Each structure stands twice: as structure tokens, then as C-alpha cells.
Chain A
Amino acid sequence: MEPLSHRDLFHAIRGGQAATPTRRTFLRAAGLAGATWLTPVGHLLARASEQAGEGSGPAQSVIMLWLQGGPSQLETFDPHPGTRIAAGTGAVDTALKGVQLATGLEHLAAEMQSVSLIRSMVSKEGDHERGTYTMKTGFRPDPTVVHPSIGAICCHELAAAGTDIPRHVSILPGQWPARGGYLGDKFDAFRTDDPAGPVPDTSSLLSAKRDDQRLKNLDVVESAFAKGRQKRVDATLHRDTVAGARKMMSSEQLKAFDVSNEPLALRRAYGETAFGRGCLAARRLIEVGVRCVEVTLSGWDTHANNHAAHTNQLKILDPAFAALLRDLRERGLLDRTLVLCAGEFGRTPTVNAVGGRDHWPTGFSLALAGGGVRGGQVIGATDPEGQKTEPTNPVTVGDLHATVLTALGIEHDKVNQTPIGRTVKFSEGKPIAALVKGNT
């Protein structure tokens, strides 16, 4: 280890703070503060938020529950029970008076005081890949630029605060995980699968002696190559990324991915599914300073058997989403964690010949909760007859992104230069006034 860690430029790459304390000093400080190993940022942030007054500051992190495939609004957040377009789907009352969710979301119904719904999302993309890109970045695909996703912007704009592990994580990443776009590959989400298994590629599985030998070997090869190239080899940052990777491998924060230490009752509350474990891991990751966790639940592309498929999906989504909100609230994290639950588009009001619903990018729903946004709001409405294609009070994808960025305290229309010199805003839209805290 010694030759690699003697010059710690890792943080210089990540965010440029000087004099980052080492893990050991962190742990010591944490011990004094009477905290567990889950130390650094959680407490720094908690202190900051105490000073600012509980719940008033912007959100510090985002958890994105990504419903890949396009969930039906009618079977989730926008039921129209008893109508022709419901095609038999029922609804349940919620903690919010007068607001119903589809049958199957009973757990979430109990948490609705923290949740706001947008029932009038409109997008221009009805294709999975293009729709996913649009929802994750706030822009339609454009051949001249790749836009960054929310998580990438978060990591780019908000301080690194001593996190050894990647600050942008995608659990169960699916086909199109969140990307850094023009902000750079280093803002791509770190991809990992079901938290029941180990985090990929973070252990060498070797004896300490061989591990050590390998690093010594590497130093020898590196110094030979640096001869006559020193400055330019330094500029590649290769050695610094190696050091960063080594630091991550030995970081206590890696344990945040491991949910097996959580009490059994809590794990059961999230549901013993890959997605449930992913949501639980997301909470743990937020606690160690990760800025954005995306947890994907696939299987919403129900061109056939829509109702049965959605019933099964909700059995996974409902307990996990509700437990996550409750867990965050109980730990005092909900006020600074924005939770967003969405897919790339909705599904048609009409049921097709094989009992399915097809793609529907005009008038679909999503849920948001927690830090920086007001709970208990319902924005927009769709036609209960399924006749009108335009919902009332439509919200564009750009508006959604402007809202989310504002909730995070990020200037939503900040202008950036792409690598080819084009100017692009972080989002093209307006924050939804009813959702942004501080607006009345």
C-alpha cells in the first residue's frame, strides 16, 4: 500500500478539497462523536441542517426508484376506479384526503403525507431507450451532445465531503444506467447488482502478501514508464485512479452496500427482493455521503397481461418504497433526501386485444417525496374517460428536472459548455411552484 497512498490525489480528482482526513482519523472522530462506523457525511450534514433549522435546507441526495419499461399510471399513481379505462383496477384511500392510489399500493398509501404526485407528465418520446434518456437527463436525445443525468449533475455541483466510494451509484442498473454525459465518464453511475452479493471488482481475493507483491511490482513498472515522461504520465491521472480504487477497496464505507447487517425486521419490511435490498442499500449509501442512488425495477413493459403483471410488480415496489420513506424519516434523513419514483412513460388508457396497455408518453404519473419538495401535493390530472390526449396542467420533463435540481439547491438553468463548445443549460423548464419548498 505504502507507495500508492503516499500522495493522495484522489480527492483532488474528486472535488479538490485539501487535507481530507484519512479513514482512520475519520473513524476516530466518529468514535468521539459516539457514532457507528457509518460516519462522515451523515454527521456533517446533520450538523449543518441542525444549524439551518430542521427541514429548511435543500436536499443533499437523491434516490431514484427507476421503473424500467414504462409503468401504467392507471395501475399505480393515477387510478380511475370504476371507469372504462380502469378495466377493473381498483383504488385505495390514502393518508392524503381525497387522493387515491391503485390497489396494491397499500403500504405507500399510509406514507402519502410525505409524497407528492405528478399526474400530468408529458414527454415527446415513446421509445424505451429515447424515453429513458429523456426522463433521466431532462432532454431528448441529440446527436451533438450527451446530457448528464440528475445524479451526475448532483455529484458535479455538490461537494464530495470525504466519500471514498463512488458518489453516484446504480443498483440493478438495467440497460441504460445514468450517465455523466458531457460532464465526463467519471460521473457515470457506478453499477452494482443485488446487494445480496458482493460489490463487483472491489476485492482482489488474494493473500495480503500477494496483494502487496502486486503493488510493489506495479510501482516498478510505473517508474520505468515515467522515465522521460514524468509530467505527462502524471497528467493521465492513471496512478491517481489506481490509488482511488485501492482506497475504495479498503474503505469501511463499502459496507454500506451490504444490507445483511440490518435488522431482520427492517429487511422484511423492505421486502426480501433484489429491489427491496437495493432500496435498503440506497438508504445506507446516502448515509455515507453518496449523492445519488438509482435503484431499478424492470418488468413494466406490459403489452400483454397488463393487470396481472402490474399486480406482481406492485408486490415488489409497494413495501420497498413505503419502507424506504419510513426508514428515512425515522433516521431524520428524509428532509435532505429527495426520493423520486418514475419510469420512462406511461401506458395507454385503452386495453389492447391481449389484455395489455401500450406506450403512452402524454399524461403519465410519477411520485416524489422528501428533501426540498413539499409533500401531499397532486399536480395535474388525466381524463377519466381516456379521450383527451393532453392532461390538465401538463408538466414537461424539463419542468420536472428544474424542480428536482431546485430541490437540491442547484441552479436549474445554469449554463454549461459541452466539450464541443456548445452551451447547454442543466435543464430547460421551470420549477413547479407548488412543489418547491419556500414557495407558498
Chain B
Amino acid sequence: MWLRNLLFLSLVGGGGIALGVNLMPPREIQPLTTYDTELYRSDDFRATVDRVNTSFQNEWQTANVRPADPASDLLVARRLAFGLMGTVPSLEEIRQFESLPPEERIPWWIDHILADRRYDDYFAERLARSFVGTEDGPFIFFRRRRMVSWLSDELAKNRPYDDLVRELIAGEGLWTDKPATNFVSVTAQPDKGNAPDPVRLAGRVTRAFLGLRLDCAQCHNHPFAAWKQSDFEGFSAFFGQTHVGFTGIYDGTGEYEPEDRKTQAKKLVLPKVPFNAELLPEHGSRRQQLAQWVTHPKNPYFARATVNRVWALLVGRPLVDPVDNLETDGPMPPALQILADDFTAHGFDLRRLIRVIANTRVYGLDSAADHDTSEAEEKAWAIFPLSRLRPEQVAGGVAQAASVTTLNAETHILRRLVHQGAQNEFVTRYGDTGEDEFDGRGGTIPQRLLMMNGKLVRERIEAGPFTATQRINWLAPNDARAVEIAYLAALSRRPTPEEAAHFEAALTDKEIKRVQRIEDLFWALLNSTEFSWNH
């Protein structure tokens, strides 16, 4: 019996020491993963980053704005964590990050994230929104989760993006077996024998992969650009031979014969691309031809659309707004073309694109400045924009902030399930922003109520054996360190002197239990503008 007691005690003690290491690391803590130093130093990598930087500098000069100073590297790490994994860096990760020499921190952090399953899963979900939206779609013909997990696997392999998109557009087979075909099957029309809808497919392809809103030309000729209604119909016709059968999505025969919107008369429409017809291959099914044309290195829109979306996912705001409409009246920032050229030249490598963007000067700018800043600075990218976080990012951030250890794929399955359940409930109540993820709208009152009084936040900050509040209460040697740890865990920064003074004084209040005072500190951190807005 005593042996068992001893074992139990040593387990508890061991756990305590392990936690203590996270909270108060010894000096020699080492990061667990490495990064590819060569890649970041290579000439053509530096050259692209420099060209992007120069293009923005020119823009600042023209707009006569002064750029902000560089942000702290912890703040950049926080942006990357939100953009690529939908959460904040854990205290554990911050300790590893800070143990590195300053110039190695960001490259290490990017590669650390890209090697983590959380990146694959999160980025897959974000991309899937542009491919198939957020709806559940037709019950039997659409398996959204299958599609997202397939996408996640492909991202883990870093499959060239053009190749991936070709499979989405032209894939054949059953949606359960070949998850890419969900891109087509989501448009199954129950009232038309479940045939995929060429109109919706054409709209999706043009928006998601070309950044063009050809579907606005579905009902009328486009007000700005040269698209005509016939262009859209011709584009839709590439899906005119796509059918659903026992073997899933396949290409057969038939012609595209849409009804005229006014006369209801059927008319034959042949496939036709709206520009660069010379890029269209002569062989293959109509969908294969279209897929080749869309992803052709010489099709100027494919790379631009992808760059604009990845930039938006990382920064919170697209280079050209809205994200799926490159044909707006405004000028196109030169950086978009530089990044698109690099993306094309390097085989549509998403990870390289992410690394390049993350290393640009704009990405590393502070979101605060000593001088008076306003929209003009944000517009010229002379200061890092403030953008509202998505519900999953807020939920992911709350969960991670309230745990000192990293919540990743290795975290115990039970804890992850609990986390998932709570997160889904939270996202539902918070209100999913759906596909239109980069709209500039502010938050809502129900969202604030949910954050201030809701279950997720309450349970995460209430004192319990696994919560950061109780751990900090037990293990932080003094109030000053307790406050610092809370700030690092929730906001990825250290408190300002004013903040430190306020909270250290607040923690000495004898009328309230210390752990509750730490809860009240966490509550304030999680309810701040700083927590809910990427900055």
C-alpha cells in the first residue's frame, strides 16, 4: 500500500515539477523542432521579399505616410499562430521561442507551425470555405468533413496548389472515396435528378480560384469589367457533361442547355473561356480542359487570387478587397503581382508563399505608432491592420490562453474532444461569419455577452486542476510573475508598467481569494479589444 502511495505522490510531484518548468523555465530550455535555415537565406527568397518591401515603400512615399516601427517578435508570432492555426502561442511555445537567438525566432516559429497538424487542419477548413462554403449541402451527396480532412492531408504533404485545384475541378468518383469530388457534388440539385449545377460550379470556380465574380454576370452584364452574360454561360458549359451516377461524379455526354431567364426557352451553349483561349488544351474531358486552363501558369488570375486569399488569411485583410473580386475599380497593389510571380515560379508552393509573406516588412509592422494614424495608413499598409478574429480563432485562443501547455494533436484525446465540443457550441452562439470571412464588420452585443458571461470563458478561467489560473496561483513565485505569466498566456506580451502596477495591487486584495483575483485578471485580458482583434 505504501508503495502505491509513494508512486502517487511522486506522480503528483513530477507533474508539479513539469508544470513549474513551463511556468518558470530554467535558462537552458530548447525548442523541440528545427527549421530550414537555407531556405530563408537563399537569394531568390530574399529577392522576392525585398521586391515586395520596395513596392510598399514606394506606396508609402506616394501616399505620404510614415510606416510604423517593427512589431515585437512575440506579436508577430501571435499573428502567425492566429493566421495559420487559429489560436495563440502557448506559454510553453513562448518559452521555447524566447530561448532562441532573436534572428532565428520567426523562421523557427513559421516552420514549427507548418510542421504541426494544427496548421493542416485549420488551413484546410479555411480554404474549404472558399471551395464549398459552410453549409452542409445536400445530405447524401456531400461529405464536408471528408473533404476537409482530405484537404488537410494534402496540405500536410504540401501538394502543389495547382495540382490540388485541378483535382477539385475535374476529379471523378464517389464523394466518400474521392473527397475532392465534393467540390462538384455539393451543387447536386435534388429537383433535377441530383445533377450538379453548372451555374453554381462556374460561380465557385471563378470566385475561389480566379478571384473573379463572373457569377454577377449571371443575371446582368458586369458593371465594371468586360464580362458579359455569355461569358458566364460559356464558362458554365464546361460542367454541362458532368453527371452523378453509381460511381459518383463522372463526365459523359450531353450539352449545356440553360433556360433563358426571361423567355424560359432552352438554348444550346458551348463551352468558352472568357479570355486567354490559347491556354485551353485540346484534349481531355471538358472539366479537365477547364482545370488546366484555370491553373495554367500563364493564366494571370489563378496565382493572384491565391496570393490574395493567403495574404488575407495571414493578415486578416486581403490585398484587394473583397477577397474574391480582383476586378474592382481600385488599383492593384504591385505586391500582389510580385508575390503571384514568385508563387507561380515556385510550382504553386503554398508553404513558400506563407514564408515569403510572413517575412515581408509589412507583415512585421507594428499595429501601433507614436504618430497619429488613421485609415490612410492602414490603406497604404504602412501600419498593421486591426481585423476582427473569427469565432473559431476566439474560441481557440480562449482555450489555449487558459492552458499553459500546448493544446495540439498530441494532447490527450479526451481533452481534445471536450475542447471541440465546447468550441462548436461557442462558435454557434458567437455566430459563424460564414464564407464572407474578411468583411470589416465589428462585433455584436451577443458576442460580448458570450465572452463576458458565457460558459466557455467561465469554465476556462475558473480555478480547476488544469486551468492556467489555478496553476499560476499554485506555482508563480510572486504576484509580479503571476501577472506576467497571465499576460504572456492570453495576450502573448508582458504587461506595461502601468498594467503591472494595477494588477499587482489588485492581487493583494485580501477580501477575495487569490485564485479568484487571478480569474478576474484573466477575464479582463480575454474580454479586451486586444484579444478579439488581430493586430
A residues with a Cβ closer than 8 A to B are 126-127, 129, 143-144, 146, 166, 184-186, 188, 190-191, 200-205, 209-210, 213-214, 216-218, 220-229, 231-233, 235-239, 241-242, 244-245, 248-249, 419-422
The answer on a CB contact under 8 Å between A143 and B203 is yes
Q: Interface-forming stretch among B173-181, B293-301, B354-362, B439-447?
A: B439-447
Contact A248:B449 (CB < 8 A) given known A232-B386, A233-B529: yes
The answer on a CB contact under 8 Å between A231 and B499 is no
* Partner of B502 from A129, A200, A220 at Cβ < 8 Å: A220
Closest CB of chain B to A346's CB: distance in Å? 17
Q: Say yes or no: is B200 at the interface (Cβ < 8 Å to chain A).
A: yes
- Complex Cα–Cα for A202 and B529 (A): 20
The answer on a CB contact under 8 Å between B516 and A210 is yes
Neighbouring B residues of A248 by C-beta, 8 Å: 445, 449
Interface of A is mostly: helix
Pull 21 A–B residue pairs with CB atoms less than 8 Å apart, ordered by A: A129-B135, A143-B203, A146-B434, A166-B445, A184-B441, A186-B444, A210-B512, A213-B506, A214-B524, A220-B499, A221-B491, A221-B499, A224-B495, A226-B529, A228-B368, A229-B535, A233-B386, A241-B448, A242-B452, A249-B453, A421-B223
Neighbouring B residues of A144 by C-beta, 8 Å: 203, 213, 215-216
Number of contacting residues on B, CB 8 A? 69
Contact A204:B453 (CB < 8 A) given known A188-B431, A237-B443, A245-B445: yes
- Complex Cα–Cα for A166 and B446 (A): 9
Kindly count the residue-residue contacts between A and B in the assembled complex, taking CB atoms under 8 Å apart.
Answer: 166
Contact A231:B448 (CB < 8 A) given known A143-B204, A213-B520, A420-B325: no
A-B CB proximity, top 6 nearest: A228-B368, A217-B524, A245-B448, A238-B529, A201-B449, A237-B442
- Complex Cα–Cα for A34 and B441 (A): 42
Give the interface centre of A190, A205, A248, A420 by most chain B CB atoms within 10 Å.
Answer: A420
* Partner of B512 from A209, A224, A227 at Cβ < 8 Å: A209
Closest CB of chain A to B12's CB: distance in Å? 30
B residues with a Cβ closer than 8 A to A are 133, 135-136, 190-191, 200, 203-204, 213, 215-216, 223, 322, 325, 366-370, 372-374, 378, 386, 388, 429, 431, 433-434, 436, 439, 441-450, 452-454, 491, 495-496, 498-499, 502-503, 506, 509, 511-512, 516-517, 520-521, 523-525, 527-530, 532-533, 535
The answer on a CB contact under 8 Å between A143 and B215 is yes
Neighbouring A residues of B439 by C-beta, 8 Å: 419
Neighbouring B residues of A238 by C-beta, 8 Å: 442-443, 529, 532-533
The answer on a CB contact under 8 Å between A241 and B520 is no
The answer on a CB contact under 8 Å between B453 and A202 is yes
The answer on a CB contact under 8 Å between A229 and B441 is no
- Complex Cα–Cα for A237 and B532 (A): 12
Chain B minimum-CB-distance residue to A248: B445
The answer on a CB contact under 8 Å between B373 and A231 is yes
- Complex Cα–Cα for A184 and B368 (A): 28
Neighbouring A residues of B447 by C-beta, 8 Å: 241
Contact A185:B512 (CB < 8 A) given known A203-B453, A236-B529, A238-B529: no
The answer on a CB contact under 8 Å between B190 and A126 is yes
Neighbouring B residues of A236 by C-beta, 8 Å: 386, 388, 442-443, 529, 533
The answer on a CB contact under 8 Å between A241 and B444 is yes
The answer on a CB contact under 8 Å between B528 and A225 is yes
- Complex Cα–Cα for A241 and B446 (A): 9
- Complex Cα–Cα for A188 and B373 (A): 32
The answer on a CB contact under 8 Å between B452 and A245 is yes
- Complex Cα–Cα for A61 and B429 (A): 25
Neighbouring A residues of B446 by C-beta, 8 Å: 166, 188, 190-191, 201
Neighbouring A residues of B204 by C-beta, 8 Å: 143
The answer on a CB contact under 8 Å between B453 and A201 is yes
The answer on a CB contact under 8 Å between A220 and B529 is no
Closest CB of chain B to A227's CB: distance in Å? 7
Neighbouring B residues of A217 by C-beta, 8 Å: 502-503, 506, 520-521, 523-524
Neighbouring B residues of A186 by C-beta, 8 Å: 441-442, 444-445
The answer on a CB contact under 8 Å between B453 and A127 is no
Chain A minimum-CB-distance residue to B436: A419
- Complex Cα–Cα for A237 and B429 (A): 20
Give the interface centre of B133, B322, B388, B442 by most chain A CB atoms within 10 Å.
Answer: B442
Contact A241:B445 (CB < 8 A) given known A126-B191, A144-B213, A217-B520: yes
Chain A minimum-CB-distance residue to B218: A144
Give the interface centre of A127, A214, A224, A227 by most chain B CB atoms within 10 Å.
Answer: A224
Closest CB of chain B to A62's CB: distance in Å? 20
* Partner of A229 from B367, B445, B512 at Cβ < 8 Å: B367
Neighbouring B residues of A166 by C-beta, 8 Å: 445-446
Closest CB of chain A to B472's CB: distance in Å? 15
Chain A minimum-CB-distance residue to B68: A228
The answer on a CB contact under 8 Å between A218 and B449 is no
Closest CB of chain B to A254's CB: distance in Å? 11
The answer on a CB contact under 8 Å between A228 and B370 is yes
The answer on a CB contact under 8 Å between B498 and A231 is no
Chain A minimum-CB-distance residue to B378: A232
Neighbouring B residues of A204 by C-beta, 8 Å: 452-453
- Complex Cα–Cα for A346 and B442 (A): 39
Neighbouring B residues of A213 by C-beta, 8 Å: 506, 509, 512, 517, 520
Chain A minimum-CB-distance residue to B224: A421
Neighbouring B residues of A218 by C-beta, 8 Å: 523-524, 527-528
The answer on a CB contact under 8 Å between B452 and A201 is yes
Neighbouring A residues of B495 by C-beta, 8 Å: 224
Neighbouring A residues of B366 by C-beta, 8 Å: 228
Chain B minimum-CB-distance residue to A207: B512
The answer on a CB contact under 8 Å between A231 and B374 is yes
The answer on a CB contact under 8 Å between B530 and A221 is yes
Closest CB of chain B to A288's CB: distance in Å? 16
Neighbouring A residues of B529 by C-beta, 8 Å: 222, 225-226, 233, 236, 238-239
The answer on a CB contact under 8 Å between B431 and A224 is no
Closest CB of chain B to A26's CB: distance in Å? 19
- Complex Cα–Cα for A186 and B433 (A): 12
Give the interface centre of B439, B449, B503 by most chain A CB atoms within 10 Å.
Answer: B449
Neighbouring A residues of B520 by C-beta, 8 Å: 210, 213-214, 217
Neighbouring A residues of B325 by C-beta, 8 Å: 420
Closest CB of chain A to B216's CB: distance in Å? 6
The answer on a CB contact under 8 Å between A191 and B448 is no
Known interface pairs A220-B524, A232-B374; 4 further A-B residue pairs with C-beta atoms within 8 A, sorted by A's residue number: A190-B446, A220-B502, A232-B378, A241-B447
- Complex Cα–Cα for A252 and B457 (A): 26
